[in-house]
Structure 1
Amino acid sequence: MPAPLLVFAIGNESRGDDALAPLLLRQLAAQDFPQAEFVEDFQLQVEHVTDLSGRDAILFVDADMSCAAPCLLQPITAAHDHSYTSHAMTPNSLLHAFHQFYGKAAPPSYLLRIRGYGFELGEGMSPEAETNLQLAEAKAQEWIAEVGTQLKPDN
């Protein structure tokens, strides 16, 4: 049986600040969160719908150049955005694919966008992104604690 909470990091450590989500995921995974499972990949693909099954809530984490610093946590919903016509998908389109595949709505889902600044191949993480990473970790810990207290008693 899968853990009730799923934290899914999307990013590539070889691309500068795109390392934010995988690094955050590893920081969280090193802590004591028995109610959570941590999954990491370079990008979302339609096969990831199976990772969402059986969860009570999902947190997607991704670096983003368009959000305000340090990070932004928002609920998300399924949306058919045609991103799965290419190789990668958005979290919204993965939730839509979940609905199509399983015939029911995906679990409550959230997106934690961490402000990044440079995403060039071979670059290290920027100092600003490192600061944002620490603040995003606190936000993710709060989410796990808050959502974890709302779990069904049998979880």
Structure 2
Amino acid sequence: MSDALAEVEATFEFLESELGFTRDGQRRANGGFEVRYAKDDVGVLVDWYPRDPLTVWLVRLVDGGFPPKGKTEIRADSTLHYFDLGDLETVAGCPETDQRSLNAPSAENARVLASSLRTCGESLLSGDTRQFDELQEHVKRRAREVTISHYGQEYARSLGW
């Protein structure tokens, strides 16, 4: 069996060789892995953990570094830092990759995600960070709709919606 992390790193190497990103670390944990790439205010995080799909995150860096990743309560006044590739595909009008079906961290699945990132993230990967604002508005709009439909208008108002 080949090393999945090495395959993913080889597939996303274009971020370094073609776009000037630097690999900002990698780690193995909980049976999975993550690898980070950074350039100016833009980060790319590729991760995989058992029972989760191989996932690409676009990250709004803070002072050149990756902010803590975790559960974020999405409120009207929240500043979001992590956006998955599916959000980027929607905002950019690209065909959606069904990331949930990419459960194995294989070279083939990594190529599918890297191809979408290359196409849909061209301006963001080239340093046009205005797309982060579009991504944030997209995620907040979706969060507002879900909050209202599941918890009601009154609770949504308590979150600033």
Identify which of structures 1 and 2 has the higher relative contact order when contacts are C-alpha pairs closer than 8 Å and 6+ apart.
Answer: 1
Q: TM-score, normalized by length of structure 1?
A: 0.40
Decide which structure has the larger Cα Rg and report it. 2
Query: Which structure shows the bigger proportion of residues in helix conformation?
Result: 2
